[in-house]
Amino acid sequence: MNRPLVLALVLATSAALPLAAGDLHGKVTCKGVRDSGDAVVYVAAIAGKTFPAPKEHARIDQLNLVFSPHVLPVLVGTTVDFLNSDAVLHNVFSPDGCADKFNLGTWPKGEIRSYTFKKECVSATLLCKVHPEMEAFVVAVPTPYFAVTKPDGSFRIADVPDAAYTIKVWHPKLKATQKAVTVAGATAADFEIAK
């Protein structure tokens, strides 16, 4: 038996195997707001690691004078399509520098305008110049490991490779927080945020 060949095959096979992945789950308790929904929980930047932008676009709809969803986390480099489903004109703009203060103009029902979030942006406020009561948020994060909390504060991020990370939490009305978490298989992490 050719030992160098066997060793090379073993090394090549092990390098191709994915690292063990865990499930990061838990609860975010939001103090001072109606419920614990709309918090974004995400794995912060991982030193030396970048992730390709998804080819598929994310979408925010404008329906009944409301942006839906209200909070949308995306991986940096993601293009977000803004659909107007209302019978009135809409506009989408962001006054935030991390989103290059974009303004997509005004367009009628059935049309889509798009914007690519090219850099980390926690968070880009979305507004409509035609309807000032409309507001939403895009949170462009550096990893594909993120989730939005349900109204009870629960979240689940699947397939997070086992390792130590900084986990961050952002909410549109509350102070952000972060903590170190080591993911090893199914891992729980709870957070509390307030004004």
Mean of the pLDDT values across residues 150-171?
Answer: 97
Domain that holds residue 177: 18-49+144-195
Q: How far is CA 92 from the centre of its chain?
A: 19
Is 10 inside any structural domain? no
pLDDT for 2: 52
Same domain? For 45 and 57 the reply is no
- DSSP state letter for 97: G
Mean of the pLDDT values across residues 134-161?
Answer: 97
Same domain? For 130 and 148 the reply is no
- Both tokens of residue 33? 């707001």
Write down the residue that tokens 């060793």 correspond to: 7
- Both tokens of residue 5? 């060949």
Is 7 inside any structural domain? no
Same domain? For 131 and 61 the reply is yes
Tell me how far apart the alpha carbons of residues 195 and 181 are, in angstroms, rounded to a whole number. Answer: 23
List, for residues 40-61, the tens digit of each pLDDT value: 999 999 999 999 999 999 999 9
> How many domains, the chain?
2
Per-residue pLDDT at 143 exceeds 90 = yes
**What CATH code is carried by the domain that includes residue 167?**
2.60.40.1120
pTM: 0.87
Tell me how far apart the alpha carbons of residues 176 and 191 are, in angstroms, rounded to a whole number. Answer: 10
Is 8 inside any structural domain? no
- DSSP state letter for 149: -
Is 2 inside any structural domain? no
Same domain? For 195 and 119 the reply is no
Percent of the chain at pLDDT above 70?
A: 90
Contacts of 64 (CB under 8 A, 6+ apart): 86
**Comparing 19 with 57, which gets the higher pLDDT?**
57
